[in-house]
């Protein structure tokens, strides 16, 4: 008897809600990654809001931009640092203007590819 090896991914029952900004998408990815690092397992469709992507989709896009030299290592460092803190750079909180500039540049460069994929509204 022949068995099908391909199992289709179920379509979302609820309508998906894209992210409003690339910052929202990045902070959501960072939150998911921190949870994953602590051993949490994800099951699609159990969150409060149905998203149009998986966290790894955002990570792959950042990796693709880095490989094409659209993002530099400094951008990744700032994205990682503030992603772990779950807040954007705050000049009044001791973060440098350079970090805020790198944060804004990285998110600006991430906006167009995420928009084209339907991840951003």
Domain limits for position 55: 22-42+50-116
In this prediction, residues 88-105 reach a mean pLDDT of: 91
What's the rounded mean pLDDT across residues 88-98? 89
Q: How many CB atoms lie within 10 A of CB 54?
A: 14
More confident residue, 43 or 112: 112
pLDDT averaged over the chain?
88
Nearby residues of 9 by Cβ (< 8 Å), 6 or more positions away: 44
Token pair 């805020």 in the structure block, residue: 100
* Averaged pLDDT, 84-107: 92
* Percentage of the chain modeled with pLDDT above 90: 67
pLDDT at 48: 79
Task: Write the DSSP symbol of residue 117.
Answer: T
Total domains present in the chain: 1
b/e map of 80-110 (b: 16 or more CB within 10 Å)?
A: eebbeeeebbeeeeebeeebbebbebbbeeb
**Distance between CA 11 and CA 80 in Å, rounded?**
31
- Model pTM score: 0.83
Asked if the structure places residue 10 within a domain, the reply is no
Specify if 15 maps to a domain.
no
Is residue 5 situated within a structural domain? no
3-class SS of residue 120: strand
**28 falls within a domain:** yes
Tell whether 14 is covered by a domain.
Answer: no
Per-residue pLDDT reduced to its tens digit, 110-119: 999 999 999 9
pLDDT (tens digit, 9 = 90+) per residue, 59-91?
999 999 999 999 999 999 999 999 999 999 998
């Amino acid at each position: 008897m022949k068995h099908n090896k391909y199992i289709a991914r179920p379509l979302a029952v609820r309508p998906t809600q894209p992210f409003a900004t690339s910052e929202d998408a990045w902070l959501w990815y960072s939150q998911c990654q921190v949870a994953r690092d602590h051993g949490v397992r994800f099951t699609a469709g159990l969150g409060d809001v149905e998203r149009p992507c998986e966290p790894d989709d955002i990570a792959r896009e950042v990796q693709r931009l880095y490989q094409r030299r659209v993002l530099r290592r400094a951008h990744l460092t700032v994205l990682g640092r503030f992603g772990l803190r779950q807040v954007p750079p705050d000049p009044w909180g001791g973060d440098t203007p350079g970090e805020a500039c790198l944060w804004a540049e990285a998110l600006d460069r991430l906006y167009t590819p995420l928009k084209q994929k339907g991840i951003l509204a």
